[in-house]
Amino acid sequence: MNSIKFIPILIVVISTTLLISIAIWTSFTSSVVEETNENSADESVVYNLNIIQNATTSVRGEDIQLKTTSHDLFHENSEGFAVYRLPAIVYHQQTFLVFCEGRKGTADSSISQIVMKRGHLNGTKISWDQTLTVVAKINGTRLANPVPFVDKDTNTIFVAYNVLTAGITEPMFLAQDHYNQSILLIKSQDLGVTWSEPHNITDETLGRMHPVPIFYAPGPGHAIQMKSGRLVMQGNYYYREINSTHKTYKSNTTDHGVVFVSDNHGQNWRPGGFVPYAEDNKGHAIDTSESSVVELANNTLCINSRTLSKSQPRAQALSTDGGDSFGSPVLVKELTEPENIGDVASGCEGSTLGFTAPKNWTKYGQVKSSASDKEQPWVLFSNPADPFIRIFMSIRLSTDGCQTWSKPWTIWDLASGYSDLVQYDDANNNKDYQGPRFGIVYENGYIDTVSTVSFMTFTLDDVRNGVKATKLRAELKQNQIVS
């Protein structure tokens, strides 16, 4: 009875703490521009880049212009689902298609379906479907990791996804002796209006892998079509180490980035290369987990992966034979990812996107020393760029084939998670064409990383200016000009 008397007091304490936390976050996010202290009263600084759109902002007297536009696509506890996870996006013929897991619960192991919203480009304007479409559903089952990609030769949009038993967690999957899942593939030839019956590609992919996978996860994010026409779908898989000196993850497994390839427009698939086991200079295994893939020059692929060790940044590995094999992974110190304090696994998914270098590359401070440099695609990368927790959704740029990366442009200061990048081109509808445009779809919230899935458009100028503004803001904060 005495303990019951304390319940109202406990409720008051918890409620007060929650209100204080909300007040702090509200104060943190309420202003777009703050004035500096009395020593620099004539200067203003960018405080929250994430909510500045179509605006010119002054940072220490320097005008920095951002012409981004944003739209929230999915909200938690709406349209029949508790939460929307693992967003992925493709663009084809003036149409955007965004896919997510629509989960009935908040846990990774929840019953889930593959859902979609379409966006329609008209000139520079994008109009989005008001309601979602369920493109894949099996009652009582977990459908996970949608991976869309476009075969431009046949004007076909594909989506691959995992079929898993709901309620089974990752540790339970990894305790098995053999994979217990299916990989299904659906396709549309009318820009997502209708979809085919699913095609099961499990036997021709997982069934042909040695050693036998314990568990496989597609993507997350979009897959690609190479210039050769080859379709390349990235993912990661675990296998159990037997009689090995390798340092292992859960249940004596190691994790490896891998690709599946098709050379006949998605009719048949086979395993491509996987990222081999390696250790860092401290003797820690480099587990290459959730992966993104991009094509560079000369039939080269770069697979960019989340790592599972709290002491490691992201890792990259190269294939010089179109994905049939990969070299050893290399840690990329510029690509910080969250430690995820309190979680067993470190890191977070990230997205890469390759595109043709602009003709006016000198505008972006680049010096090309040879003809081969001009053939090297530029690459964008996105992830939550904080070393500890999932905040600071950011975009970076590489102009040298993923060898080096720019400083981050932080597009959302607060909680953020998975993301995917896309390129689109409004040249056919816009007489004032200024070059390629890009989009990012990403999980975000004020406290919870998965409250909302948002879409934002941007240009290379926005990346350049955003990197500059983010850097200046960090310097100002470090110098305690911003309180």
Cα 5 to chain centroid distance, Å, stands at: 48
How far apart are the C-alpha atoms of 237 and 255, rounded to whole Å? 6
pTM beyond 0.85? yes
Determine the pLDDT at residue 58. Answer: 53
DSSP β-ladder status, 182-188 and 199-200: antiparallel
- Cβ–Cβ < 8 Å for 346, 308: yes
Task: Tell me what pLDDT residue 1 has.
Answer: 43
Question: Of 113-122, 211-220, 474-483, which range is least confident?
Answer: 474-483
Pull the structure tokens for residue 355.
């595109």
Alpha-carbon distance 463 to 413, whole Å?
16
Other residues' Cβ atoms within 10 Å of the Cβ of residue 345: 18
Interval 270-318: pLDDT, tens = 999 999 999 999 999 999 999 999 999 999 999 999 999 998 999 999 9
pLDDT of the residue at 124: 84
Residue 320 has pLDDT above 60, yes or no: yes
Task: Say which residues have a Cβ less than 8 Å from residue 272's Cβ, sequence separation at least 6.
Answer: 232, 258, 259, 260, 261, 319, 323, 324, 325
Structure tokens at 203: 């036997």
Cβ atoms of 376 and 297 within 8 Å: the answer is yes
CB 424 within 8 A of CB 435: no
At residue 154, does pLDDT exceed 80? yes
The two tokens of residue 438 are 């890009």
Provide Rg for the chain, Cα atoms.
23
Identify the band that residue 341 occupies on the pLDDT scale cut at 50, 70 and 90.
confident
Average pLDDT over residues 351-367: 79
Interatomic CA distance for residues 310 and 296, integer angstroms: 29
